[in-house]
Structure 1
Amino acid sequence: MATSTGKRLAGKTILITGASSGIGRSTAFEFARECHGNLKLILAARRVDSLKQIAADIAGEFGDGVRVLPAELDISNATQVREFVGKLPAEFQEVDVLVNNALATQQEADKFQYHSGLVKGVAKAPDIVEEDMNIMFMTNVTGLINMTQAILPTMLKRNGGNGAGDIINIGSIAGREPYVGGSIYCATKAAVRTFTESLRKELISTRIRVIGVDPGQVETEFSMVRFNGDKGKADAVYAGCEPLTPDDIAEAIVFAAGRRENVVIADTLIFPNHQASATIMHRNPV
């Protein structure tokens, strides 16, 4: 039987960026699962082959009821984003839910897959590599704003001019609590948090919901990227503890999108049980 969440989401069009892996991929499957196959999904990322495989896997699990549009897209390129949105097929043009889950830019997309943003290195000022800094801001901040600006006009026109739809921005505990060695990443996620809160206030007279989801420690390829593919260092991040999974975050995203239209899950911080802050964690001996 369909749940109340499934009934509310049935038939909607969901656009997920960074959908080729991690939280983005899990969110696509969770929406399809909750809606029992009655859904339209636009999955955007640079790795289009991965997106096509996800589309095939969703079709195999849920049948033809979920229509999936895989789309190669670099959200850091504002012109490309505007053209992409303007050329969406007719049945996908009215996006009901935008999930801004940042994806990789430039050559990084060919090396790794990301979850809710990009982090490079643990350098401190004045030794931060300029390229790393630029990539983090283009991925985590500029790309998210590009997507929001491209989709928002269509949401504002709906519901007799009162607007309709959800914008769900995936942030991080790092946006609330900066830590040593993470200054640039923390700054980008703080920018996401500030943009999200400003947008909610700017749209208060509409029926558009603006939702922020901030994960704590999630085990994805995130640490592999931070440590430039050093698996030993990446594994050490999760040693002695049980981090969240992308599926855990996906469930929270879909839950927020599936509330009554008058209910806004405005701000969500999600920790695994062993975590109390960005830097305070309990680890069992290994």
Structure 2
Amino acid sequence: MTHKGIALVTGASAGFGKAITYQLVQDGYKIIAVARRKEKLEQLSHDFPDQIYPVVMDMTDTRNMETTIHTLPPEWQEIDVLVNNAGLALGVDRIPNISLSNWDQMIKTNVIGLIHLTQIIIGGMLDRKKGHIISLGSIAGTYPYPGGNVYGATKAFVAQFMLNLKTDLIGTPIRVTNIEPGLCGGTEFSDIRLKDHEKAQAVYEGTTPLTADDIAKTISWVVGLPAHVNINRIEMMPVCQAPAGVAVFKSIK
């Protein structure tokens, strides 16, 4: 297999991140697999012992992040593709019945961790005149829904950050892409958000949602395009989903 380069994938131990890692390995990339759970990373590296370098890192620990990246072994430091996948949603309560700690954690992970890691890695890409930065956004950043509040706001931030990043990088060969999925099943997303497995499963009842493999294949396609082609953003939904109409509340007198 031809070695295509090195990709760093955050949140690589499960869900989208695991599927993306497996797909990019198949595509010929070596992967720096970043996640918080050491045991799951060890399983990944066991599956692909020569192609995965596991890194235990918490995306909210920005002080440790720079040290972790800059102390990678020399043979793993030239990162060609960054996949900002790590992120989470917590709760579906409506304002004002929300948890500020949940809001803080979503902002620290989905926004602050993402921008810090991007800034740390982008310098090397510019020096080598080669690189692709991909972030996992969400249709929640475009279409509001009850209980989406800060989660949707973080994904709206990611969408605008990626567009502005591409604008700042005009004149360079660095590619920038935001992937914005809709309803996706088969991951821990709803379990983490709702903290109730039965409620999480009910989210997908009667639907055929997107899967982590669908996202991974989309990223594989984007990365595999010729170097002069940049995909700014991809909004994707399962056939069973569509953008909702504008809601109108009518009181009954």
TM-score surpassing 0.5? yes
Quick one: distance in 1 between partners of 2:242 and 2:189?
Answer: 20
Gaps of 5+ in 1: 103-116, 281-286
Tell me which amino acid in the other structure corresponds to 1:221: E
Runs of 4+ more than 3 Å apart = none
Are residues 1:275 and 2:241 paired? yes
**Partner Cα distance (1:279, 1:97) in 2:** 37
Q: In angstroms, what is the RMSD of aligned CA positions?
A: 1.5
User: Structure 1 residues 171 and 146 mapped into 2: Cα distance closer, same or farther (>3 Å)?
Assistant: same
- Note the alpha carbon deviations across 1:167-188, whole angstroms, 9 max, x for none: 0011001011111111111001
Task: Quote the Cα distance in structure 1 between the aligned partners of 2:8 and 2:200.
Answer: 30
Aligned pairs for 1:185-264 within 5 A: 185-219=151-185, 220-228=187-195, 230-264=196-230
1:266 is displaced (CA, Å) by 1.4
Q: Which residue of 1 aligns with 2:4?
A: 11
Aligned equivalent of 2:79, options 91, 95, 100: 95
Question: Matches of 2:244 and 2:45 in 1, distance apart?
Answer: 35
Give how far 1:118 is off: 0.8
Match of residue 33 from structure 1: 26
**Aligned partner (choices 140, 144, 161) of residue 110 of structure 2:** 140
Change (3 A) 1:278 1:98: farther
Question: What does residue 22 of structure 1 align with?
Answer: 15
Deviations 1:21-72 (A, max 9, x none): 000000011011122xxx321000101110110111134xxxx4xx211000
Residue 178 of structure 2 contacts residue 233 of structure 2 at CA under 8 Å; is this kept in 1? yes
Residue 156 (1) aligns with residue 146 (2) = no
For 1:148 and 1:81, the matched residues in 2 are separated by: 11
What CA distance in whole angstroms lies between the structure 1 residues aligned with 2:244 and 2:111?
20
TM-score normalised by structure 2 residue count: 0.93
Rounded Cα–Cα distance in structure 2 between residues aligned with 1:87 and 1:168: 23
Report the equivalent of 2:68: 84
Structure 2 counterpart of 1:58: 48
Which letter does structure 2 place at the counterpart of 1:274?
C
Q: Which residue matches 2:89?
A: 119
Aligned length: 245
> 1 CA distance for matches of 2:154 and 2:98?
14
Structure 2 unaligned segments of length 5 or more: list them.
Answer: 247-253
Checking the alignment, whether the CA contact within 8 Å between 2:82 and 2:133 is kept in structure 1 is yes
| d(CA) in 2 for partners of 1:278, 1:213 | 20
Q: Percent identity?
A: 42
Please say if residues 174 and 278 of structure 1, whose CA atoms lie closer than 8 Å, have aligned partners that are also in contact.
no
Distance between the aligned counterparts of 1:278 and 1:183, measured in 2? 16
